[in-house]
Homo-oligomer: A and B are copies of this chain.
Amino acid sequence: MVTDLGGFVASTFKRGLQFINIPTSLLAMVDASVGGKNGIDLGHIKNQIGVINLPEMVLIDTDFLNTLPAEQIASGLAEMLKHGIIHSNNYWERVKNIAVSNKNEFETLIWDSIEIKKEIVAKDPLEKNLRKTLNYGHTLGHAIESYFLKSPDKKNLLHGEAVAAGMVLATFISMETYGFPKETLFDISKTIFKYFPKQSFDKKDIEAIINLLVFDKKNRNGQVLFVLMKDIGNYKIDCVVSNNLIYNAFDYYKNF
């Protein structure tokens, strides 16, 4: 939130100041501080306001992570798992077994995660195609996050918690639509439920979450467009998904 707010203020104060990001949370290190996107919520809707503007520098010291609560580490881990799913089996296998307590290994994985994001952003800065993969799990994830934020009877989710649920849902939809391998779906689901508690969604919740999808920035001509995967590292952008399939995905999530 701080790198988003700082980046947005720097980009719009006096028509733009230069700025550097110094992330101190894992989520900001591996995701928010890199790539130049910033987002401010409008009411309960996530990231409706923002610009794309690169910092002059991102300065990361992993010692900051020593004081970070465990659920905040997990929140950042969700984006690292995402980098594995969209990038390669190699990185997925390494990150899914991450040992946070092994400082050297953890630092190496953080570095690699940033490299993956940096490479994607450099190839497609304006998000015409490849960069959309960074939204994997985020279409439903953002809607879930927004819905929990505005619902008085739900606890607020951390960004990574919502994205983790979104990735299980998106991977199920990927299997149904593009034949994503079932055993890899199970592997991803098992990994995610190792780090993130299962959230409960009743029918009313799911309806409301589907209604929130219309605010997704990646929509075009009134259609909600998902990033889906044919396999790890093999993506498909701009996929139309039926509401029915989304309900089935929530069923899968609930019964896993």
Contacting residues, chain B, for A37 (C-beta < 8 A): 15
Contacting residues, chain B, for A8 (C-beta < 8 A): 12
Is A14 an interface position by the 8 A CB rule? Answer: yes
- Interface contact B217-A48, CB-CB below 8 Å: no
- Interface contact B39-A217, CB-CB below 8 Å: no
Contact with B along A49-88 (1 / 0, CB 8 A): 1111000000000000000000000000000000000000
Is A16 an interface position by the 8 A CB rule? Answer: yes
Contact of A12 among B12, B13, B14, B15 (CB under 8 A): B12
- Interface contact A51-B12, CB-CB below 8 Å: yes
- Interface contact B52-A12, CB-CB below 8 Å: no
- Interface contact B51-A14, CB-CB below 8 Å: no
Is A11 an interface position by the 8 A CB rule? Answer: yes
Contact of A49 among B13, B50, B217 (CB under 8 A): B13
- Least CB separation from A37: chain B residue: B15
- Interface contact A217-B15, CB-CB below 8 Å: yes
- Interface contact B48-A16, CB-CB below 8 Å: no
- Interface contact B217-A50, CB-CB below 8 Å: no
- Least CB separation from A39: chain B residue: B15
- Closest CB in chain B relative to A234 CB, distance in Å: 27
- Interface contact B14-A217, CB-CB below 8 Å: yes
- Least CB separation from A216: chain B residue: B14
Q: Which 9 A-B pairs have the closest CB atoms?
A: A14-B217, A15-B50, A12-B49, A15-B52, A12-B51, A15-B51, A16-B51, A14-B48, A13-B49
Some 14 contacts from A to B, beta carbons below 8 A apart, are A11-B51, A12-B12, A12-B50, A12-B51, A13-B48, A13-B49, A14-B48, A14-B49, A14-B217, A15-B39, A15-B51, A15-B52, A15-B217, A16-B51
